[in-house]
Amino acid sequence: MSSALKTAEQTAAIDRFDLALSRLLSATAAGDTRAFRALYEAINRRLFNIALRIVGQTVIAEDVTQDTFVRVWSQAKQFDPSKGPAMAWISRIARNAAIDHVRRNRTQLEDIADHVDHIASLADPVIERLDMFSGFSKLADKQREVLTLALVYGYTHEELATVLCVPVGTAKARMRRGVQQLRVFFDQAVALSS
């Protein structure tokens, strides 16, 4: 199978997955509990991984994931497929829930300065998205694809390997090379702006 055909099939699979999520969200917005259950089954591990990366503790990530699904249930009517993929919309809710948890549960003794870099790195202003888009455009197709699946859709290494029809080690290597290439790109951009 040619690389272009394989990539086209993978893109089609991602599009089908997102279309299915969009339909489940629409049904959830109408109060369909079976659709909500199917939505949960389809993405709960991905949302858990997003939460875990931010909060750093399994038990808390589980709570954040539950809170995310409560928010998805109550906000499903706000989803607009013309504004972006369903998984990106839901991932944003998970990310915001995790950040809200971190902010809410800070002790009185902690200084916000201890967390500024971490929280700032989670920000997503338009200029950073444009920079990320520029960086992604410099990547090879394989690295761009694996990073998009992992960062936007929350795929684990194992899921990446399955979707891409490659060994887990290859999926990890593509991610590592993609991140390294992005780091070089952004280091050069910072050097040029200085």
CATH number at residue 156: 1.10.10.10
State whether 46 and 101 are in the same domain.
Answer: yes
Closest listed residue to residue 83, CA positions, set 92, 71, 74, 72: 92
Domain count, the chain: 2
Q: Are residues 115 and 139 in the same domain?
A: no
State which residues form the domain around 133.
Answer: 125-194
| Last residue within a domain, chosen from 99, 123, 147 | 123
Residues 116 and 131 in one domain: no
The single-letter code of the amino acid at 170 is T
Query: To 5 degrees, how large is the angle CA 17–CA 60–CA 129?
Result: 50
pLDDT at 5 over 70: no
Same-domain check for residues 119 and 23: yes
Residue with more model confidence, 155 or 129: 155
pLDDT tens by residue, 120-143? 555 444 344 446 667 777 888 888
How far is residue 130's CA from residue 166's CA, in Å, rounded to a whole number?
30
Q: Which residues touch 29 (CB under 8 Å, ≥6 apart)?
A: 76, 77, 79
The residue-averaged pLDDT of 181-187 equals 79
Residue 151 CA to residue 162 CA, distance in Å, equals 16
Do residue 42 and residue 110 come from a single domain?
A: yes
Give the CATH number of the domain where residue 68 resides.
Answer: 1.10.1740.10
| pLDDT tens-place string over residues 41-64 | 999 998 998 888 888 888 999 999
Would the pLDDT of 115 be above 70?
no
Is residue 161 within 8 Å of residue 170, measured between CB atoms? yes
- % of the chain at pLDDT higher than 70: 77
Residues 157 and 164: beta-carbon distance below 8 Å: no
> 129 and 82, same structural domain?
no
Is the pLDDT assigned to residue 93 strictly greater than 90? yes
Q: Are residues 72 and 141 in the same domain?
A: no
Upper half-sphere CA count for residue 54 (Cβ side, 13 Å): 30
Structure tokens, 50? 């997003």
pTM, two decimal places: 0.57
